[in-house]
Structure 1
């Protein structure tokens, strides 16, 4: 039996277990729901851990099975976008005093990291939209 079939069976079993627990929570009284929801959190963490482990496993497997040069170039391009976003983010363009008065403890470093994340999102979104428009225009012009 292949690994793909085993993973499909595991995913199907986890889906059924999740549906059963959801039905128990919805059908039970409030006390049962509160007791089950605490246990469901641990189950959710376990499932998240399994999923992350499997994703990491398949990424590493695919990395060594495929062209490692293309993979490293893609990772490098992503890292370049993140670095550029961090460099252009200032962190000083926001008045942090109202946030710190509420006890949030936001510093210029935190503001710079958030700004870098936003710039990264904007750049990657623009690249994704641009590549979709380019691919669509190319397909229309070749017909």
Structure 2
């Protein structure tokens, strides 16, 4: 039995267990739901940890099985987009006084980080859309 089949069975079992727990929370009274939801948080963190560990394992496995040079170039390009986005984000785009008057405690560094995330999202979305259009056009003209 291959590893893919085993992971498929584990994922299916976790989905069934999650559905059962969700139904137990939804059909129980409020106190039971609150007690179970606290325990569900620990279960969710455990499952998330298992999934992240498996993702990292398969990424490392695929990294050494494939072309490591292309992978490192791709990771470097992604990091370049992140650093450029952080560099062009100013953090002074909004007036933070109304937020801080409400007790949120937002600083210019927080605003700069959010702005960098938005710039990175826009850049990566543009790159993804452009690459799909380029691939489609190339496929269309090669026929």
TM range (shorter): over 0.9
The 2-side partners of 1:24 and 1:86 are apart by: 45
Q: CA RMSD in A?
A: 1.3
Q: Which runs of 4+ in 1 moved over 4 A?
A: none
Shift of 1:64: 1.1
Q: Tell me the TM-score normalised to structure 1 length.
A: 0.93
Q: Which runs of 5+ in 1 are unaligned?
A: none
1:44-87 Cα shifts (integer Å, max 9, x gaps)? 11111110111011111111111110110000000110111111
Are 1:42 and 2:38 an aligned pair?
A: no
Partner of 2:126: 126
Partner of 1:88: 88
The 2-side partners of 1:29 and 1:140 are apart by: 59
- Residues 90 and 8 of structure 1: is their aligned pair in 2 closer, same or farther, counting only changes over 3 Å? same
Partner of 1:111: 111
The 1-side partners of 2:12 and 2:64 are apart by: 28
Partner of 2:135: 135
Shift of 1:105: 1.4
Shift of 1:138: 1.8
The 1-side partners of 2:140 and 2:61 are apart by: 37
Partner of 1:28: 28
Q: Which runs of 5+ in 2 are unaligned?
A: none
1:8-33 Cα shifts (integer Å, max 9, x gaps)? 12111111111111222223233322
